[in-house]
Structures are given as structure tokens and as C-alpha cells.
Amino acid sequence: MAIQIEPNVLKDLKAYGAGDVSACFHCGNCTAVCPLSENGGSFPRRMIRLGQIGAKRELLASAEPWLCYGCGECAQTCPREAEPAEYMASLRRYQIAHLDPTGLGRLWFKVPAFALILSLALLGVLGAFLLTVKGSRLFPQWLFGNTVAYETIHTVGMVVGGVLLALLLGSFATLVRKSGLVPLLKGRNLLGALAWLGGELVTMKRHGECEAQSAIPVPRRKNPRVVHWAIMWGFIALGVATALDFLFIYFMGWTIVWPARVLGTVGGLVMLLGVSGAILRRLTDPKAGTRRTRFADAWVLFFLWVLAVTGFWLEIVVTLRTSGLVHDWVLVIHAAMAMELVLLFGMTKMAHVLYRPFMLLKHRLEQTAPMAETAASPSVP
């Protein structure tokens, strides 16, 4: 299929955070030094060239931006200071924004003032709504002085979750169509690719290959692989704990919810450590891949950190069965921020949780020969 050229693509990518990639003359240093570049590959140079010529369709369908973990080795060796790592990050933002069915994702990443106003407006609306209903059937005596009904939080959470599901379904339908994943499924070992993906998500082995190239050891608290792993799995654990909480309390009316409580506590602690490490790294030891922190990146880290801290605050309050105006406001802030994070999930950097595994699977299938070809090839003694 012929490549369709759109002249404004490179200019648009700069609004998403790309550096001066037009300065790149394809010397190949980035590919040579990248620890994740495979034999015979052109990663990340191919993506730069596609951006320079304006191949929008190919950029939106490619899995290569998601193979990059931003170690910054390419930026350190680039003679033209084209910042390949920042360019790959801008491509991930570009894909997320174009998958968002609301269209707000494009403004979110490109216009920080819009993102800030939208975030504050959503917090205000959700917080005000939570304060409109008083009382609680399950915990009438001690739930934060009846400032917010426990059932209200869960009901609003159900509605917010439903909206998120509808948006993500629309995004995934677009992603499957544009990525060309379906033709890759024919004749290939899907179960083998899924097994590889599961191992990669658990161990983040590819991410570990980045740090193996570094001559200077990185403290564990700032180690990108450990930080990334902690944020992802801590967040997933909190999501599962929240789902269990909904199931046990909202649907089944149970008052003993220790499985969700334990999982949420562990997940929250792991995520808090990961987010704190990411913030510390960006503030004290920024590398080539993180020295430019955009508002969209800072917003995710800030929200996750505040949610973790306020979550532990509320857990202590619930355990001690205490009350007070400060606790009331902490509850409202925590609930409103959690719901906003869910609502904006698919149009922010949080979408990495879903899109990176999808694109890693696509890449694995692309690298796997069809089983018919494998069967036809001669065996090696």
C-alpha cells in the first residue's frame, strides 16, 4: 500500500513534545546504540523518517513507539541533538490522542492550559456532586460525619466506570482497525505470543536491557525498570481491590472486606514507592528521556501520588473510626480525583497500561513467522 504524505505531521508532532527531528540526517547512531534495537532493524530511525515525510497512517499504526522505554542513550549520542527519545514519547502521545473518541486528548497533550482548566473543572464538578447527598445506610454512625454517603461514592463510581468502558471500547475498536493486528493472527502462534507478553509484563525484561547498557549503577529507588514496574502493578492491584470493594460492599452488602483491604494496602504502597521514585528521578537526576517533563506527565504523577497518600489517610481514619472536617475534605478530594483519573484514563498517559501491552503483542506477532513457513523450513541438526 502506498504511503500517504501529510505535510503538517512533523509540525503537529512538535506540539506533542517532539524535538527538532527535522535536523536528523539518519546517521544511524541512535539505532546502533539503542539496547532494544534488534538485528537488522532500524529502530528508532525508521520512526523519525516516517515523521519527516509525514506518513501519518504508518505512524498511528506502528508498534515501535511503544518498544521504547526512554533510556535516553540515543539522545546522548545524537550528533544533531534531534532528541530521538523525546520524539518516541511524542509519538505515544500522538497515538493516544488520536485514539481518544472525544477528541479532547489532542488538546490535553498539546495545550497545557486546557488540560489544567479541564482537570480543575472536573474536580470541582465531581466534588460538588459528592457533597450533595448526605447519610449512609451501611455506616450511618462513623462515616466521616455523614458528609458523603458511602453508597453515593460507589454509585457515582459505577457510572464513571461505565463511561470509561464505553470510551475504551471505542478507542480499542479504532486501535484494532488502524494497527492491522487481525491479519497478523492468521497462521501465527497467538498463545505463544501471549505467553511471551505475560512474561514481559511480569519481569519487564526488555526494560531491564536498557539499564544493562548504563555504565553508572542507578539506585533501586530511581531505577527506571523498578519504578515502572511498581507504578504499573501497584495501580493494577488498586484497580482489582476497588473492583472487589464494589462487589463485596455495594452488591453483596458485606461488612468484612479484608481481602480488598489487604490488596489495596499493598498495591497502594507499591504504587506510592514507584511514583515517588519517578518524581525523585525527574527532580534530582533527569536523563535524556525525562529531562523535559510536560504537564501531561506531571499531572499523572501528581494525581497518583496524592491518591496514594489520601488513600492511606482514609484507611487510617476508617480503621480508627474517627471523624472531623479535615477527614471529610480528604475523602471528597480522594474520591473526586479517583473518578477524574478514571474518566480521563483513555486520553492521558494512564492509557499506557492498556496500549503498551497491545502494541508489544502486535510487535511479537510481527516478529513471528507464520506457522506454515516454520513447518516448511528445514530442520537444523
Instruction: Quick: pLDDT tens for 239-274.
Output: 888 888 777 766 666 666 678 888 999 999 999 999
pLDDT mean over 52-58: 93
Q: Is the pLDDT at 137 greater than 60, yes or no?
A: no
Q: Is the pLDDT at 151 greater than 80, yes or no?
A: no
Least confident of 192-201, 259-268, 314-323: 314-323
Are 278 and 70 a contacting pair, CB within 8 Å? no
| Per-residue confidence (pLDDT) for residue 377, from 0 to 100 | 46
pLDDT tier, 51 (very low <50, low <70, confident <90, very high otherwise): very high
pLDDT digit string (tens) for 97-129? 999 999 999 999 999 999 999 999 999 988 877
Query: Cα–Cα distance between 15 and 352 in angstroms, integer?
Result: 20
What residues have CB less than 8 Å from 252, skipping those under 6 apart?
none
Q: How far is CA 196 from CA 37, 61, 71, 158, in A?
A: 18, 21, 22, 34
| Per-residue confidence (pLDDT) for residue 320, from 0 to 100 | 87
Query: Cα–Cα distance between 224 and 206 in angstroms, integer?
Result: 12
Question: Which grid cell sits at 367?
Answer: 516478529
| Average per-residue pLDDT for the chain | 83
pLDDT tier, 58 (very low <50, low <70, confident <90, very high otherwise): very high
Least confident of 129-133, 155-159, 183-187, 329-333: 129-133
For the chain, which domains are there?
Answer: 9-99 (1.10.1060.10), 104-217+294-366 (no CATH)
Query: Cα–Cα distance between 289 and 86 in angstroms, integer?
Result: 6
pLDDT mean over 227-247: 87
Q: Which of 161-165, 284-288, 372-376 has the highest mean pLDDT?
A: 161-165
| Per-residue confidence (pLDDT) for residue 168, from 0 to 100 | 87
| Per-residue confidence (pLDDT) for residue 270, from 0 to 100 | 95
Q: What percent of the chain has pLDDT over 70?
A: 83
pLDDT digit string (tens) for 67-108? 998 888 888 888 888 889 899 999 999 999 999 999 999 999
Question: CB count, 10 Å around CB of 183?
Answer: 9
Q: Is the pLDDT at 216 greater than 60, yes or no?
A: no
Least confident of 136-140, 266-270, 300-304, 312-316: 136-140
Among 59, 30, 39, which Cα is nearest to 47's?
59
| Per-residue confidence (pLDDT) for residue 266, from 0 to 100 | 94
Are 195 and 375 a contacting pair, CB within 8 Å? no
What residues have CB less than 8 Å from 283, skipping those under 6 apart?
none
pLDDT mean over 172-200: 90
| Per-residue confidence (pLDDT) for residue 20, from 0 to 100 | 85
Dmax of the chain from CA atoms?
A: 76
Element (H, E) at 255: none
Q: Is the pLDDT at 198 greater than 90, yes or no?
A: yes
pLDDT tier, 15 (very low <50, low <70, confident <90, very high otherwise): very high
